[in-house]
């Protein structure tokens, strides 16, 4: 065989390291956490810059944020040159549906000379972090991303992970990357301006991870339902830290870039993603996940996997936290929308459906098919449950 025909087999590993910090009053000059982080970057010969992009909803509640950030950097991190403007982007899932908005962020990277030695600081809810993370990941093949999540959902779940995305052709997260941040800063004080829906919404992801991984954590949530529903900060701080810990442990110990079709952290999400679209995102992500969890738990009970007593406990916790567990869009068109959603989720996974169902609280099992008729019966069950609790 000639040398020109011999195969070269390439293999290498890349190690990722990033910290999830927990703090309060991040941009107070007395708080040195951010200063200490930037002081790690002592690379010589490069002018490091930072572009700050903020969720509009959060910015409206914190009118001094931009000036606070500028004061912090000028006093504590003078070696980092802030871009001349703080970019404000609309929050919520709609921001991931707007290609013009995405292009404007990439343009800002160009205009402000943000290069691979620089940073993008994303401050906001999960949708904004997804959008900004995607723009950072594809600009110059990857700009260092710092996430500052401002919702419960982002602090305990999406903001601490490795995924970034935007929506495309009516499909959630169709365009995206696996690109870890260089750091995540969870500031508990940023949660104080959340409305009750967004405070509650993040609890759905906590219940999700507890149900599939940690019975004791679910029991803790169960015993702290009133405190969590009543916006007790100490209870929420524990919940966020435990969720973030479990989320990062899962990423490190499993399949972080999802080469396989096993995605246990998507428990309850196949129906949730479809419901978000069907309601034009009037149902927010956490609310949709709560319904998705309820639907999959009812399904598991109907096929004899999940004990009825466990189902009752799960639905009781979700209801006491204030979640609605049914939406009319689930039943629309003889449930055909849900069947389509299941097919779309199959495509998203690469053609092989893998769904996590519960065997008991704290233990999930993967299945590769769901029965459409039993899904329909489960929807009817939740509709009946809604009437009982109304």
**Confidence grade of residue 2 (pLDDT, cut at 50, 70, 90):** low
Write down the pLDDT at residue 3: 62
Cβ contact 52:82 at 8 Å: yes
Write down the pLDDT at residue 57: 94
Write down the pLDDT at residue 320: 96
Measured distance CA(355)–CA(346) in Å, rounded: 9
Residue 124 has pLDDT above 60, yes or no: yes
Nearest by Cα to 328 from 285, 387, 373: 387
Average pLDDT for residues 303-322, to the nearest whole number?
97
Average pLDDT for residues 131-147, to the nearest whole number?
97
pLDDT in tens, 37-93: 999 886 766 789 999 999 999 999 999 999 999 999 999 999 999 999 999 999 988
pLDDT in tens, 77-108: 999 999 999 999 999 888 999 999 999 999 99
Measured distance CA(68)–CA(72) in Å, rounded: 6
Phi-psi region of 141 (alpha: psi -120 to 50; beta: other; left: phi over 0): left
Cβ contact 145:136 at 8 Å: yes
As a whole-number percent, the residues of the chain with pLDDT over 90 amount to 70
Write down the pLDDT at residue 259: 62
Write down the pLDDT at residue 348: 61
Tokens at residue 361, please? 């609280």
What domains sit in the chain, N to C, each tagged with a CATH number?
A: 19-193 (3.40.50.1970), 196-389 (1.20.1090.10)
Q: Pick 340 or 104 by higher pLDDT.
A: 104
Write down the pLDDT at residue 5: 80
pLDDT in tens, 167-224: 998 888 899 999 999 999 999 999 999 999 999 999 999 999 999 999 999 999 999 9
Return all residues near 209 (Cβ < 8 A) that are at least 6 apart: 157, 217, 243, 246, 247, 250, 265
**Confidence grade of residue 389 (pLDDT, cut at 50, 70, 90):** low
Q: How many of the other CB atoms lie within 10 Å of CB of 76?
A: 19
Return all residues near 289 (Cβ < 8 A) that are at least 6 apart: 204, 205, 208, 268, 269, 272
pLDDT in tens, 246-296: 988 888 877 677 665 456 678 888 889 888 888 988 999 999 999 999 999
Residue 165 has pLDDT above 60, yes or no: yes
Cβ contact 190:28 at 8 Å: no
pTM, two decimal places: 0.89
Measured distance CA(217)–CA(362) in Å, rounded: 9
Measured distance CA(26)–CA(20) in Å, rounded: 13
Residue 361 has pLDDT above 90, yes or no: yes
Cβ contact 255:175 at 8 Å: no
């Amino acid at each position: 065989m000639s040398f020109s025909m011999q195969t070269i087999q390439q293999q290498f590993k890349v190690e990722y390291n990033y910290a999830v910090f927990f703090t309060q009053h991040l941009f107070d000059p007395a708080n040195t956490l951010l200063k200490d982080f930037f002081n790690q970057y002592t690379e010589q010969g490069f002018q490091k810059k930072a572009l700050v992009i903020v969720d509009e909803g959060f910015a409206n509640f914190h009118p001094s944020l931009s000036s606070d950030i500028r004061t912090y950097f000028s006093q504590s991190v003078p070696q980092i040159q802030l871009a001349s403007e703080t970019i404000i982007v609309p929050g919520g899932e709609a921001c991931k549906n707007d290609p013009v908005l995405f292009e404007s962020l990439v343009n800002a990277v160009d205009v402000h000379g943000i290069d691979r030695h620089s940073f993008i600081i994303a401050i906001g809810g999960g949708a904004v972090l997804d959008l900004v993370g995607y723009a950072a990941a594809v600009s110059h093949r990857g700009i260092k991303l710092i996430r500052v999540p401002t919702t419960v959902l982002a602090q305990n779940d999406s903001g601490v992970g490795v995924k970034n995305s935007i929506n495309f052709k009516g499909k959630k997260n169709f365009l995206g990357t696996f690109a870890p941040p260089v750091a995540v800063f969870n500031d508990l004080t940023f949660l104080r301006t959340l409305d009750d829906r967004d405070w509650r919404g993040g609890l759905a992801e906590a219940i999700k991870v507890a149900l599939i991984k940690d019975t004791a954590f679910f029991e803790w949530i169960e015993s702290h339902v009133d405190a969590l529903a009543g916006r007790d900060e100490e209870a929420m701080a524990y919940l966020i830290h435990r969720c973030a810990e479990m989320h990062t442990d899962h990423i490190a110990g499993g399949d972080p870039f999802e080469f396989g079709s096993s995605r246990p952290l998507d428990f309850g999400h196949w129906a949730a993603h479809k419901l978000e679209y069907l309601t034009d995102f009037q149902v927010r992500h956490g609310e949709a996940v709560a319904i998705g969890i309820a639907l999959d738990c009812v399904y598991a009970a109907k096929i004899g996997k999940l004990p009825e007593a466990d189902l009752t406990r799960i639905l009781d916790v979700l209801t006491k936290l204030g979640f609605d567990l049914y939406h009319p869009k689930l039943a629309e068109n003889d449930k055909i929308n849900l069947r389509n959603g299941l097919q779309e989720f199959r495509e998203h996974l690469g053609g092989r459906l893998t769904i996590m169902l519960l065997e008991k609280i704290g233990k999930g099992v993967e299945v590769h098919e769901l029965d459409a008729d039993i899904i329909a019966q489960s929807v009817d069950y939740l509709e009946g449950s809604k009437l009982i609790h109304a």
